[in-house]
Amino acid sequence: MNAESKPGDSLSVQLRLRIIGAEKITLGPGKIELLGLIEETGSLGKAAKAMGLSYMKAWSMIQTMKPLVRTSRGGPCRGGAKLTATGRAALALYQQMQNDCVSSSAKTWKRLQRLLRG
Amino acid sequence: MNAESKPGDSLSVQLRLRIIGAEKITLGPGKIELLGLIEETGSLGKAAKAMGLSYMKAWSMIQTMKPLVRTSRGGPCRGGAKLTATGRAALALYQQMQNDCVSSSAKTWKRLQRLLRG
């Protein structure tokens, strides 16, 4: 979920947004990537694998964002998972915030790039 | 250099921008904080201390951003340091990008907050 500028540029900008609740990170780039992969694959196992995480690590991550993900236990496909309506909305809003940031700072970013390239 | 929402909110958002050059991080929240503290204190030692870093760590950080900081060696004040004109401009542009992001995503952030609070 990094928003980077085009390849070919010698400098790129990486943007990370973290949503923090009560001294504890509740939603950051890693969890957002996991949500996106669950949405894409319909499987917690496949999402974990795509991120190079153990199944248990991915499982523990979704325990901290229960209203966002629904897992199918006891079904034929261990690790079957999908986003709830709230999860899909949260993912979309996070991505929208990221897009808002990238668009709004693009002009200043060009100036900073020129400055740092000398 | 985190841009957080007001205390009293149960959720806050933390924004981190990293400027990356050639596979290597050249400017991120830590270095920006160091630049800001050098600007404020005029001293690498004081800036390091304020961040809980060793002098050597802060020194090695500024070695990766030489056009941005000027140190006074051999002077009476070991660790005397100040930003170059380029350094002040880079700091201001980075902060401007951060402000651009915070302003542009504020409305979406309100929606995400309402969603996550349930």
- Alpha helices (H) in B21-68, listed in sequence order: 29-41, 44-51, 55-63
What's the confidence (pLDDT) of residue A6? Answer: 46
- Residue A67 · residue A87 · CB < 8 Å: yes
Q: Do A116 and B26 touch (CB under 8 A)?
A: yes
Interface test with B, best of A18, A101, A102 (most B CBs within 10 A): A101
Query: Considering only CB atoms, which chain B residues are within 8 Å of A22?
Result: 10
Query: Considering only CB atoms, which chain A residues are within 8 Å of B4?
Result: 20
pLDDT digits (tens, 9 = 90+) for B48-91: 999 999 999 999 999 888 889 998 864 444 658 999 999 999 99
Average pLDDT, chain A: 82
ipTM of the complex: 0.77
- Residue B5 · residue B109 · CB < 8 Å: yes
Q: Do A19 and B13 touch (CB under 8 A)?
A: yes
The beta strands (E) that lie in chain A are given as 11-21, 24-27, 69-71, 81-83
Work out the number of other CB atoms within 10 angstroms of the CB of residue B6.
6
What's the confidence (pLDDT) of residue A69? Answer: 92
Residue A87 has pLDDT above 90, yes or no: yes
